């Protein structure tokens, strides 16, 4: 099918669920009550996704504290620590670099052991819909930068790379479990690689922050890119029979020399990634030209084109979305173009975004896909 519609992953959690999660940590709400709320929120998100007419849906990540930190809740070997424990100047470092991070961080402190990461979420969600499901997993390169601390992690893993390879091997087991469970699309989230679009001889601000907070060293642009691609390929090695995707963020910075450049900065190495689709952000100013990238894609590789903003509350018209898709038409066949928002609507539990606005945007997007199919398919 041409112009398949989907989402990147997360949706805002209902206020009741957020409040009860806080109370649960204080012992004021039982696990059973919390599970009931999660179930209700998941069912509601899925009903709304169906109503919006999406072709491929997610469970909305209602069970996850954030798209990356839930790994620490699931896989044994992590310890949740406050940012000030990791570095006494933690909060000051964030402020100085104008970076927002969750204060509670999952840091690796012991050897990892295998555990189900997302299959349980899929099993719980699939009873609510017969549509194909996408399930998201945090990438090894991302988890390495987010979780390896030079003091707290070195006894378990001497280097960040040792840890990243160990996580990649576990991730591959989960990819296979998800495939066997019947997931249609497994998307590996790699915002940390996306942010590398802002790096060069010097690291971008995220790697600068993790250097200061965790004591990790920047390897240089090409070496970072190489490592990220190798780790992705380790996690999907030998996997077939399921659609694999890699999602990257893009935060263009007006003062940066890389403004107006996109993921084409990662060519040609990026195309060595064993993936069926790249799911990418393209609605903000300064993100570059998607046609430049997709022209270089090998035969069969798809783009998940970001066509609605997850920052801006103004609902794009179907016509606006159609014009965004037209940027790549002619450079790649319609069957290889997927439509999605730029990113998840609420990657972390506390990120606010009005649910009605999110679904109005998705209805606009599915309307745009219908218009495009009439014109091109």
Provide the binding-site residues for Zn ion, judged by CB under 5 A: 249, 343
Shortest distance, position 344 Cβ to Zn ion, whole Å: 6
DSSP string, 182-247: T-SEEEEE-HHHHHGGG-SSS--HHHHHHHHHH------HHHHHHHHHHHHHHHTTT--SSEEEEE
Shortest distance, position 339 Cβ to Zn ion, whole Å: 15
For the chain, the straight-line distance linking the first and the last C-alpha, in angstroms and rounded, comes to 8
Residue with token string 């310890």: 79
Report helix, strand or coil for 173: helix
- Residue closer to Zn ion by CB (options 46, 343) is 343
CB contact at 8 A, 233 and 270? no
Say if strands 134-138 and 243-248 run parallel, antiparallel, or are unpaired: unpaired
CB contact at 8 A, 342 and 282? yes
- Residue closer to Zn ion by CB (options 118, 343) is 343
CA distance 164 to 151: 16
Residue with token string 């030998």: 238
Beta bridge partners, 245, equal 187, 277
- Residue closer to Zn ion by CB (options 216, 309) is 309
Report helix, strand or coil for 280: strand
- Residue closer to Zn ion by CB (options 163, 345) is 345
Q: How far is CA 213 from each of CA 71, 104, 245, 320, rounded to the nearest angstrom?
A: 20, 13, 30, 41
- Residue closer to Zn ion by CB (options 112, 343) is 343
- Residue closer to Zn ion by CB (options 20, 309) is 309
- Residue closer to Zn ion by CB (options 198, 249) is 249
CA distance 226 to 92: 31
What element of type H or E holds 4?
A: strand 4-5
- Residue closer to Zn ion by CB (options 72, 245) is 245
Sort 369 into a burial class: Cβ within 10 Å, 0-12 / 13-18 / 19+.
Answer: buried
Shortest distance, position 245 Cβ to Zn ion, whole Å: 12
Shortest distance, position 348 Cβ to Zn ion, whole Å: 11
CB contact at 8 A, 62 and 12? no
Shortest distance, position 124 Cβ to Zn ion, whole Å: 23
CA distance 2 to 133: 18
Shortest distance, position 194 Cβ to Zn ion, whole Å: 7
Long-range CB contact pairs, 256-260, < 8 A, 24+: 256/198, 257/200, 258/197, 258/198, 258/200, 259/286, 260/286, 260/288
| Residue number, nearest CB to Zn ion | 343
Shortest distance, position 342 Cβ to Zn ion, whole Å: 7
- Residue closer to Zn ion by CB (options 72, 138) is 138
Shortest distance, position 166 Cβ to Zn ion, whole Å: 25
Shortest distance, position 311 Cβ to Zn ion, whole Å: 11
Tokens of 265: 């900065």
- Residue closer to Zn ion by CB (options 146, 249) is 249
Shortest distance, position 305 Cβ to Zn ion, whole Å: 13
């Amino acid at each position: 099918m041409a112009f398949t519609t989907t989402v990147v992953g997360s949706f805002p959690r209902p206020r009741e669920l957020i409040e009860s999660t806080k109370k649960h940590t204080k012992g004021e709400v039982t696990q059973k009550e919390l599970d009931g709320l999660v179930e209700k929120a998941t069912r509601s998100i899925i009903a709304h996704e169906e109503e919006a007419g999406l072709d491929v849906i997610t469970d909305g990540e209602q069970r996850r504290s954030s798209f990356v930190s839930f790994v620490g809740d699931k896989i044994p070997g992590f310890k949740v620590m406050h940012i000030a424990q990791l570095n006494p100047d933690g909060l000051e470092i964030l402020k100085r670099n104008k970076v927002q991070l969750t204060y509670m961080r999952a840091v690796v402190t012991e050897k990892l052991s295998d555990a189900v990461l997302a299959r349980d979420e899929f099993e719980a969600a699939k009873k609510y819909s017969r549509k194909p499901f996408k399930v998201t997993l945090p990438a090894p390169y991302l988890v390495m930068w987010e979780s390896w601390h030079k003091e707290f992690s070195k006894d378990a893993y001497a280097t960040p790379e040792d840890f990243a390879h160990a996580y990649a091997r576990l991730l591959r087991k989960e990819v296979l479990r998800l495939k066997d469970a019947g997931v249609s699309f497994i998307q590996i989230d790699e915002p940390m690689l996306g942010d590398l679009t802002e790096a060069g001889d010097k690291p971008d601000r995220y790697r600068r922050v993790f250097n200061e907070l965790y004591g990790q060293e920047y390897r240089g642009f090409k070496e970072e890119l190489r490592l990220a691609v190798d780790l992705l390929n380790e996690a999907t090695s030998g996997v077939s029979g399921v659609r694999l995707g890699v999602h990257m963020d893009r935060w263009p910075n007006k003062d940066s020399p890389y403004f107006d450049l996109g993921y084409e900065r990662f060519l040609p190495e990026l195309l060595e990634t064993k993936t069926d689709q790249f799911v990418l952000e393209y609605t903000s100013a300064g993100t570059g030209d998607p046609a430049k990238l997709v022209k270089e894609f090998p035969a069969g590789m798809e783009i998940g084109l970001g066509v609605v903003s997850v920052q801006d509350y103004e609902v794009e018209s179907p016509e606006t979305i159609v014009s965004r898709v037209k940027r790549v038409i002619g450079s790649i066949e319609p069957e290889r173009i997927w439509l999605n928002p730029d990113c998840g609507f609420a990657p972390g539990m506390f990120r606010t975004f009005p649910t009605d606005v999110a679904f109005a945007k998705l209805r606009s997007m599915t309307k745009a896909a219908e218009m495009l199919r009439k014109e091109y398919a």
